Structures are given as structure tokens and as C-alpha cells.
Structure 1
Amino acid sequence: MKTLLIPVATFAWLASVATTHAASTVELTVGGVITPMACTPVFAGGGVVDFGKISQQDLNQATGTRLPLKSLNLTVSCNAPGRYALRMRDNRDGTAHVNSEIFYGLGLDGSGNKIGVYSVKFDPKQTVAESGVQIYGIESTTGGVAWRTANSNPIDIGSQSLLGFTVTEGSTAGPSPIQVLSSTLTLEAVINAKQNLDLSHDVRMDGSATLEVVYL
């Protein structure tokens, strides 16, 4: 009986050693692609949207106040046709009084209250490519792994999801290669409820965001 126990015990010990050794190292692989493609997004008018002076008496006391819609022209020019998507980063992160990836903050008043939010909407029907063909919007919430069905419905650009454009309606294959894209965007701003703001002096709206081209 002892002659059978010795090799079994030895095997178990060796297996333990092998397992410990395997867990002592791990590999890290770093990859990526440097592409010759380069795209430049440009807002007309320097990307400045000014609502002018707004009287506090025009604000709703207990609910948000929607301001008039503003149009903003955008052109994305690339050195060659390529696949890309857009997303936007809030430079006033943490100042939006509504928690959503499509709402961006308008800064804080003198007492640290959140002034309001704004959103930027793309309309495929007001978006054209250099080819002149019909454009459809397509969105991914998985970083480009999967895409929603392309359609012509307006869509708000988010800070986490990707927004692209394709020439194929109903496609789930992602954006089409496009060299020059022109679009008229709609910006909508909502001021926080009057009761939530310190209006004892001028409150300056201070929204700022960065539009990013993501190469696919």
C-alpha cells in the first residue's frame, strides 16, 4: 500500500508547483494601428452659440425653461474616404442638472448651482456627403463592436456612444467611408428651474464641449 501512496503524493506536489509557477507570470500585449487617415471637424462661426441676455422673469419657477433652438453648421473633412464616428466630451463635466450622456452642462452660478443643460442633435436629412447620396445615421453603444440599424431619424450625440453615418439604410455594418461630411446640427438648451438658481446678480452660461473624431 505504501508503494502506491508515494507516487501519488509526489504527483500532487509537482502539480501544485506547476500551478504556482504558471500563476507567477502574465503577458501584456499592446496593439493598435497608426492610420494615414486624418479628419478635421470645423464648426461654422468658431462653434460659438450665444443666446444673448435672458430676463429672469422669463424663467419657469419650478421647472426647466427651454430656450429657442439654435442651428450650428459642421463640416468634417478627411484627406481620403474613411470610416469614422463622432462623440462629444463635456468640458464642464459635472455641471449638468440632468444625468444623461446626451446632456452637457452650462456651468455653475455664483453660489455653485447648476445653471442648465444643452444637447446637440444630428439630422441625417440635413447631412450630406461629397457623393451627394442619401445619408443615414448609425449609432454604437459598444465602442463600435455592434451598431444599431441605420435610419433617417434625428439623434443626439452622446459622450459615450459613437455616432456615424452610412449610405445604406437598415445597415448594421457601421459607418460608410466618407471624405467630406456637412451637417446642420440643432442645439437645444434648458435652464434650470428659477427656484434652484441664485439670480441676485448676472449668471453667465458657460457651456463648452469638444467634438471628437473616432477612427474605425
Structure 2
Amino acid sequence: MKRSLMHLFALPLLCGAALTHAASTVELTVSGLITPMACTPVFSGGGVIDFGKISRQDLNLTNGTRLPLKYLTLTVSCNAPGRFVLLMRDNRDGTAHVDSEIYYGLGLDNGGNKLGVYSLSFDPRQTVVDDLAVVYGTESTTGGVAWRTSNSNPINIGSRSLLGFTELEGSTAGPSAIKNLTSTVTLEAVINARQNLDLSAETRLDGSATLEVVYL
């Protein structure tokens, strides 16, 4: 009985194979472009921000506590003018208590609770690009397919959005070709509500992120 069933199920498969020829191979294409352009990003102070010691009693019980703003300078030096954007990757992914691509985590306390978040903001008005008199910011949330209309408003760098600069105001063409860029970056940190944290022992803020130059 089992042998008969096996033959019955096999017949349609054999008939189908005789009528159509299914492809037994598939092609893979690997492409890319190697560019002679090379850019080096550098944060002032080695990219280290230290808030020092923060008293437990200075933290809000039920709401987040904003720490004083910190500032650092980013320089991007390229061997030739070219179009590039900036992107940030959180090295403490999963520790931010606010779910947004512009917030990066400050690590966990001794009980595994999320300590807080920080963000980095770029202000075109505090950004110098080559010999341009004025610079405008733009960004893309579509991987460079479409660009936000360029303007002089500050932009928070995100982990999934491309951030660039151009000399054209009101443009949707994306970043301009740049050789040297210097920008004053504002860092804002917020500690989670005290009631959500285990602060029975000294707890170290442990934020870490990598800023990447992406060539277009």
C-alpha cells in the first residue's frame, strides 16, 4: 500500500519534468567601484567626552535628567574633492532607553537597566567647507535615493540616515564635492529616570559610537 502511494505521488512530478525545464542554476553578480578618494575623520580630544562624577541625588526620580551640553570638533580631510556623507553606528546598540535612530546608548547599570542616551547635532552655521562662505545641511533616509531640501537648520546624525553638506540652499541634489570639512558638534546626553536604575554602586557611563565617512 505504501509503495503504491509513493508511485502515485511520483507520477505528476515525472510528467511535470517532461513538460517544463526548471532552471538548475542561478547567477550572482558582484559589483562595486574602487575610488582613489580617501577621507580621514578626526574628533578633537580623541573623541572622548567625560561628564565627571554625577551625584545620584542630582538625578530626577521620575523623568530623565539632561546633562550639560558638550562640544567637540570634527574634521574630515580628503586627498581630493569628492561627494561623501556621514553615518553613525552605535557600539552599545540596544542600551538606549529611547527608540530612535538619533539616540545612542550609554550602557547598562549593575542591574542590566538602560542608563540613558546621547545624540550628536551638526550645525551648518558652525561648519566650514573648503573656501565656501556658506554651507547647508542635507540628509537622506532612503540610502541616497532622495535628499531632504538643504537648509541651515541643525541636523542630528542618525544610524540609518545619510548626512551631508552642500553650498546650494534649497537643493535636493544631495551633498556637494568636498575636500576639507570642519564642524563644531554638539553632544546632548540624558540619564534615565532614577527610579528605573540600580545606582547602589558607582555606575560608569559607557557610550561608544563609530562615525563613518561613506563615499557617494
In the superposition, the TM-score normalised over structure 1's length comes to 0.90
Aligned residues: CA RMSD:
1.5
Q: How many residues align?
A: 202
Describe the SS at the equivalent of 1:123: strand
Describe the SS at the equivalent of 2:20: helix
Measure the CA separation in 2 of the matches of 1:14 and 1:186. Answer: 65
Measure the CA separation in 2 of the matches of 1:15 and 1:123. Answer: 67
Offset from partner CA, 1:138-185 (integer Å, 9 cap, x none): 100111111111111001000011000011011111100000000000
Residue type of the partner of 1:156?
N
Residues 1:118 and 2:118 are matched in the alignment = yes
The answer as to whether partners of 2:126 and 2:184 remain within 8 angstroms in 1 is yes
The answer as to whether partners of 2:106 and 2:207 remain within 8 angstroms in 1 is yes
Describe the SS at the equivalent of 1:46: helix
State the Cα distance separating 1:212 from its structure 2 match: 0.2
Residue type of the partner of 2:112?
G
Residue aligning to 1:38? 38
Residue aligning to 2:7? none
Residue aligning to 2:54? 54
Describe the SS at the equivalent of 1:61: coil
Measure the CA separation in 1 of the matches of 2:170 and 2:19. Answer: 55
Residues 1:109 and 2:109 are matched in the alignment = yes
Following superposition, which runs of at least 4 residues in structure 1 exceed 4 angstroms of deviation? Answer: none
State the Cα distance separating 1:26 from its structure 2 match: 2.2
Aligned-pair identity (%): 75
Residue aligning to 1:82? 82
> Runs of 5+ in structure 1 lacking a partner?
1-12
Which moved further from structure 2: 25-34 or 190-199? Answer: 25-34
Measure the CA separation in 2 of the matches of 1:17 and 1:101. Answer: 49
Residue type of the partner of 2:66?
R
Describe the SS at the equivalent of 2:113: coil
Measure the CA separation in 2 of the matches of 1:200 and 1:94. Answer: 23
Measure the CA separation in 2 of the matches of 1:50 and 1:66. Answer: 15
Residue type of the partner of 2:200?
S
Describe the SS at the equivalent of 2:125: helix
Measure the CA separation in 2 of the matches of 1:172 and 1:142. Answer: 13
> Runs of 5+ in structure 2 lacking a partner?
1-15
Measure the CA separation in 1 of the matches of 2:150 and 2:132. Answer: 18
Measure the CA separation in 1 of the matches of 2:195 and 2:180. Answer: 46
Residue aligning to 2:178? 178
Residue type of the partner of 2:83?
R
In the superposition, the TM-score normalised over structure 2's length comes to 0.90
Describe the SS at the equivalent of 1:29: coil
Residue type of the partner of 1:125?
R
Describe the SS at the equivalent of 1:45: helix
Residue type of the partner of 1:95?
T
Describe the SS at the equivalent of 1:151: coil
Residue aligning to 2:140? 140
Residue type of the partner of 2:45?
G
Measure the CA separation in 1 of the matches of 2:69 and 2:18. Answer: 70
State the Cα distance separating 1:204 from its structure 2 match: 0.5
Residue type of the partner of 1:110?
N
Measure the CA separation in 2 of the matches of 1:148 and 1:138. Answer: 6
Residue aligning to 2:20? 17
The answer as to whether partners of 2:132 and 2:167 remain within 8 angstroms in 1 is no
